[in-house]
Structure 1
């Protein structure tokens, strides 16, 4: 059985982000971390009766294990959206994307994010769940939004940091978790593995 904390060298471990997401790359860079990136080729199909939180955790853990390398610290994350407990996934096509927006209009939903950090055989996971209250989304606005291309690859069919921000009435939880990487929790978790951001240069 592995023991906590993991045995780390005095040098900062090399960091691998298990994602090709431009959003996650930008967020991690903004935090001041130096890292490499790689995509994990895994099956991202939810299991029957799997909750959004459990699905996000399983995906993050699987991505981290898939890309584990000797001497490397791997950071993996997953974010999903649930409405009435049902995982929405990413839009398959235009009709599916517009149907998602209609279902979210004027209602509350939850966004589950999980972050897994793995070094050698030791893994730690943190999770956040954020409630997002949406205002009404007019059909013409939904059509224009889909045509913009922004929601095509987003869980739940929208990006809170983009055009869709105009529909968000209230957020209870981590907004960075909704975007795809809960920043406070990620920094805390990486610090436990000896991975720290670079000092911010004075302006």
Structure 2
């Protein structure tokens, strides 16, 4: 059986694959993650997931590679990871009291086969106070997360409802990923 490799250093994706009882290793992708933000969000996450998986497949061509990427989109605007407190504040203010879309793209590659898909989950936020935003940013949690929040951490306190797969918001639609891996005989 071929070795399974996660093309991500994300501790959340690692944890999800472990939750799925998969045996895998990690080889972090080093690709440029800049994209054309005028493209639809589903295309952006699929493109980034594919770039990451292809990059790692070049180094491990006898393996099955999982690449993934997650973005937040509101009113057609893509929110990536914030670079500083100001960006995190702006993103959280934008999400406050509104619905937004979270997309996770997944690319599963081997030399012989490619599967590419995305999942979308709609997340509804409570109205946030300035104090809540300041305290959340002070926690440090927003800085490695698309849209400046993590649903699996303190950011869960902002979530009013979700419509779709919770794990898509965390960073990997686990059930669908496992089903797609079965087609690779994993």
Q: TM-score, normalised by structure 2?
A: 0.96
Higher helix share: 2
Q: 1:166 corresponds to which residue?
A: 157
> Could you tell me how far 1:125 is from its partner in structure 2?
1.2
> Could you tell me how far 1:30 is from its partner in structure 2?
1.1
Mapped pair 1:60 → 2:49: yes
Unaligned runs of 5+ in 1: 1-11, 196-203
User: RMSD between aligned alpha carbons?
Assistant: 0.9
Partner SS, residue 74 of structure 1: strand
Q: 2:7 corresponds to which residue?
A: 18
Partner SS, residue 67 of structure 1: helix
Mapped pair 1:44 → 2:33: yes
Q: TM-score, normalised by structure 1?
A: 0.88
Q: Report if the CA contact (8 A) 1:42-1:63 is conserved.
A: yes
Q: Report if the CA contact (8 A) 1:112-1:129 is conserved.
A: yes
Number of equivalences: 184
CA distance in 1: counterparts of 2:25 and 2:156, whole angstroms? 30
Q: 1:137 corresponds to which residue?
A: 128
Which 4+ runs in 1 deviate beyond 6 A? none
> Cα 1:187–1:48, aligned 2, differ >3 Å: closer, same or farther?
closer
What is the 5 A alignment of 1:86-105?
86-105=77-96
